[in-house]
Amino acid sequence: MIWFACKQCGKRHGRPDNLAGTLVFCECGQGNRVPWSSTVSEPEPVEEPLVPVPPVPPPRARSEPGGFDLPPLRRRPGERRQPDPAYCLNHAEVASEQTCSDCRCPFCAACVTTLQGKTLCGPCKNLRIRRLSRPAHVSAMAIVSLVVGLIGFPVAFFLTLYAVGQQVLGKSAAGSIVIWLMALAVPAVALTLALLALREIETKPQVGGRSLAAGGAVSALASLLHSITLAILLFLRD
């Protein structure tokens, strides 16, 4: 044990040998470096007179007559408090009258409000309003439908013209039909995806991207309209 005195107040401190060189703070606020060897003598142990301790009676349970009202036990970290359903969660002395529709906790009449026809506590009401005011997230299907629709438009356009050219030049009719079906495939996929995305957007209020899905659907429809019109005209001509 290394013994040293505070530079400011002179209080004697003791630290184990392995703490030599470390900084310790005295109660007066002064920082002192623990020396490598004791700079003051070791204080003599003070022997205090023993005071008799009065015997403490064992606590009695609440149920016993004349039992003590023990303070409630402190919860451990992570331990969930079990609310008494007969009393308000916020006011432990007020009887509960309502139950929150979202969290199912008991509350008094002053602690709940009605929103969208449901009885909600304050935090659940705030959570619902925050969800409603949050911007909708864009549907991934809407983005994909727009991309496929925009890519499919020139693909379908040129493939259809190519198929028509083959037919006009008197090439194989089967080849033209295959090319024409290939031209129809991409817009058809885009249109299907766009319709699915639009249905999802209409049914789920927190899903957005209607403009993207509509754009994909329109480009796909225009491609299909162009391809089918040309095919019908070609058929009528032959």
Partner 1 sequence: MLCAGCVDHALESGETTPEKARAHTRQAILALCFGIGAWILSGGFLLLLALVAHSSDALMVGLLFLLVVIGNALLAAAGVGQALAALRTRGNHMILATAGLILNGLYLGVLVGLFSNPRGFLE
What are the tokens at 181?
């079906």
Nearest to partner 1 of 193, 230 (CB atom) = 230
Distance separating alpha carbons of residues 40 and 134, to the nearest angstrom: 69
Least Å from the CB of residue 213 to partner 1: 7
Whichever of 89 and 217 has its CB closer to partner 1, that residue is 217
**How far, CA to CA in Å, does 17 sit from each of 4, 6, 33, 50?**
12, 17, 13, 32
Among 28, 110, 168, 173, binds partner 1 (CB under 8 A): 168
Taking the least distance from each CB to partner 1, the nearer of 32 and 160 is 160
Closest C-alpha to 145, from 199, 226, 203, 204: 199
129 binds partner 1 (CB under 8 A): yes
Q: Which C-beta is closer to partner 1: that of 92 or that of 225?
A: 225
Sequence-distant (6+) residues with CB within 8 A of 151 are: 186
Verify binding: residue 113, partner 1, rule CB under 8 A: yes
Of 29-37, 103-111, 128-136, 175-183, the segment contacting partner 1 by CB under 8 A is 128-136
**How far is Cα of residue 1 from the mean position of the Cα atoms in its chain?**
54
Q: Characterize 6-25 residue by residue with b for buried, 16 or more Cβ atoms within 10 angstroms of its Cβ, and e for exposed.
A: beeeeeebebeeeeeeeeee
Single residue of 32, 96, 98, 219 touching partner 1 by CB under 8 A: 219
Q: Judged by CB, which is closer to partner 1: 184, or 230?
A: 230
Q: Which one of 9-17, 32-40, 142-150, 170-178 is the stretch in contact with partner 1 (CB under 8 A)?
A: 142-150
By beta-carbon proximity to partner 1, the closer residue of 67 and 175 is 175
- Site size with partner 1, rule: CB under 8 A: 39
Please report, for residues 168, 184, 227, the alpha-carbon distance to residue 157 in angstroms, rounded to integers and kept in the order given. Answer: 17, 10, 7
Beta strand residue intervals within the chain, DSSP E? 2-5, 12-15, 23-25, 31-33, 98-99, 106-107, 112-115, 118-121, 137-138, 207-208
Stretch that binds partner 1, among 2-10, 53-61, 110-118, 175-183 (CB under 8 A): 110-118
Interface positions with partner 1 (CB under 8 A) = 113-116, 125, 129, 132-133, 135-136, 146, 149-150, 153-154, 157, 161, 164-165, 168, 208, 210-219, 222, 225-226, 229-230, 233-234, 237
